[in-house]
Structure 1
């Protein structure tokens, strides 16, 4: 998952139609999308479009339908990238020293207050880095990580992962490039991590959240990426329950 900073490919998006079944509420100091009821919890860490972007809410609904409580906190503090706003001017307002304390505080309060029997972190693009940081040796808050088309992840952060991780990658991706994907795989192998990497052809960076599902290849790859995360989470949860 070692990856470059977000680029213009992160800005391109197609809106997915559908009415979310959850609701936004204040939770641990952040406006949070909440859906589902379960002792198994998924925290979704969003990309630059934030936690009111319809596409990511629909993904949360999909997770909830198979038995998870899903939370999408506003890790951007009310400042998603706005139409016409330049990405390179937006990024300095959302650096790791600003964003990770927001994420870490939220996840800590989820663990303390909800006391989930299983806690997963899902990260898309911008949010992937923070899923990784909170499943590391420095901050062992998550039981499992699932990320898609990551950005801003350093190789040393990959080296510090200490929980199982599932990764979905695009064949064409200037952010999570083939070279960085192979280097990440080598690091995961070296630290003896439990991991899987799914590579999808004919899709590009951001496809899981922002791809056009009118394209049947993209639609298939999006659905497969989500179902693969679910299958991985369920297996990790089963193993945890028996340990």
Structure 2
């Protein structure tokens, strides 16, 4: 599909760049619907009873992703992250923006394979999560980073979740914004090759035209990947990353309390 058909373009070089975050993840990897799934549980007495479905960027279940889910658990949510790459993230083939991909590696084929798997299996995985981890009182939200953004919109077009959020998205077309039924938070970078200013404005025009419930935050001076792969040793990048996660958790607190 031509990139011109996307508001948020397919993953590119900017999706590989970033910093590996230090820290020890507290959750465990389990199998849900035969898909590796990270499970981050709130501390005893801190659970709010709600579940967040997490859809990772092209780094998959990296330490960065696990720590973000731990952060959602710290906010009281049971966070579950789906590894739709099944152990085959793009970072397996390229560790930095300046490093070439291995000879013969077909990035488009890699993307098509995993995208097809995710499109088919995200709804099934979400249903399996609800059956295994939910109760009649449980409410659900979802968050996606980069590659994960379309699946947030996919679920927001149903009643599987009550709210959603994405950060520095890719692979979004107008139809993703047309279809959503529930509140969406857009956490964006000022300098984003995949989702630039013009594309953001088109997306917001759609949301406003159709009177969708949304909130847009744009962080100045940062680029694609800031919310999941920003450099924590850089004070401003760290602040942006932390503020993005805090806003997402607060957004879910707000809407899940009302749904």
Shared fold by TM > 0.5?
Answer: yes
One of 70, 74, 86 as aligned partner of 1:65 = 74
Provide the C-alpha distance between the structure 1 equivalents of 2:234 and 2:214, rounded to a whole number of angstroms.
29
Residue 131 of structure 1 is matched in structure 2 by: 152
User: Alpha-carbon deviations, 1:69-111, whole Å to 9, x = none?
Assistant: 010121112221113345334212223x331121111001122
User: Alpha-carbon deviations, 1:190-228, whole Å to 9, x = none?
Assistant: 111110000000110011111111111111110100111
Runs of 4+ in 1 over 4 A off after TM superposition: none
Residue 114 of structure 2 is matched in structure 1 by: 94
Provide the C-alpha distance between the structure 2 equivalents of 1:140 and 1:101, rounded to a whole number of angstroms.
17
One of 2, 11, 17 as aligned partner of 2:16 = 11
Q: Deviation at 1:2? A: 3.3
Residue 255 of structure 2 is matched in structure 1 by: 236
Is 1:118 the equivalent of 2:157?
A: no
Provide the C-alpha distance between the structure 2 equivalents of 1:78 and 1:17, rounded to a whole number of angstroms.
20
Provide the C-alpha distance between the structure 1 equivalents of 2:216 and 2:128, rounded to a whole number of angstroms.
30
Provide the C-alpha distance between the structure 2 equivalents of 1:115 and 1:65, rounded to a whole number of angstroms.
19
On the 8 A contact 2:84/2:114 being kept in 1, the answer is no
User: Alpha-carbon deviations, 1:139-181, whole Å to 9, x = none?
Assistant: 3311111100000000111011101011100000010110110
Is 1:204 the equivalent of 2:223?
A: yes
Q: Where does structure 2 lack aligned partners over 5 or more consecutive residues?
A: 1-5, 95-100
Q: Where does structure 1 lack aligned partners over 5 or more consecutive residues?
A: none
Provide the C-alpha distance between the structure 1 equivalents of 2:125 and 2:112, rounded to a whole number of angstroms.
22
